Amino acid sequence: MKRPFISAAVAIVVGLFSGCTTVNETGRSQLMLVSPSQEAKMGLSAFEQIKKEEKISTDRQVNTRIRRIGKRIAASVGREIPNAQWEFVVFDSPDVNAFALPGGKVGVYTGLIDLAANDDEIAIVIGHEIAHVTSRHGAERTSQNYAIAGVGLLAMIGMEVKDVDPAKRNMALAAYGVGTQVGFALPYSRLHETEADSVGLRFAAGAGYDPRSAASFWKKMAEKGGAKPPEFLSTHPSDASRIANLKKLAPKYMDLYRKNKARNE
């Protein structure tokens, strides 16, 4: 009865050790068990569904503005994104939000456009969201979930082989779930946000947008937001940590910004 479980566990372990890649812009190693084609397929499907469910803005001027900013940032990535079919859509909603999906699909909400003081601040957000895609953060999180589930399966099999009491087994698995969430998944989510901030600033500056606008925009976001959990229980860095990091990063990209601002004027 236990052989199928053991075979599955062996397959998981082999998969985990064979699925590594690197983030181009930072050199960080990441676990990757999802292919670029799978990732793009999921992104394209999700974007089509969002377009059916959300109200798309018909404001020609706003759409032209977002497409102009988005295309400049996409060009500043400086490399081809697998299966990218770039599309920039404005959603008519007061939500202060934007997102990017694998396959080059980007959505920006009018609530965010209204909050932003200028194109630079909008570009910072779009750059951040595109950086999530180029760094394959979504696929990495999916891969990590596979890994967490795989290790949990190994633990379950080990306890079953040793005939551990079912109640103790359930307690151990519950503790494992909480531990991996707080000690692994959430820290990686915060790392992804910080990495997207850094890479996104580079993309925005490379498109001729001022990287100093990041701190000013996130200050407004912080003032608009309500109560938030402690940083160690959050998917994002604290507002204070994020703003301080963005202020620290901005000078690094000023030469790139000035060079490309002149080019795009």
Residues tagged active-site:
129
Burial (CB count <10 Å: 0-12, 13-18, 19+), residue 24: middle
CA–CA separation, 205 vs 211, rounded Å?
A: 6
Count the neighbouring beta carbons within 10 Å of the beta carbon of residue 83: 16
CA–CA separation, 82 vs 128, rounded Å?
A: 18
Q: From residue 144, how far is each of 30, 138, 153, 207 by CA, in Å? A: 9, 10, 14, 32
DSSP 253: G
3-state DSSP call for residue 257? helix
CA–CA separation, 74 vs 123, rounded Å?
A: 11
What residues have CB less than 8 Å from 162, skipping those under 6 apart? none
Q: What is the biggest distance separating any 2 CA atoms in the chain, rounded to whole angstroms?
A: 71
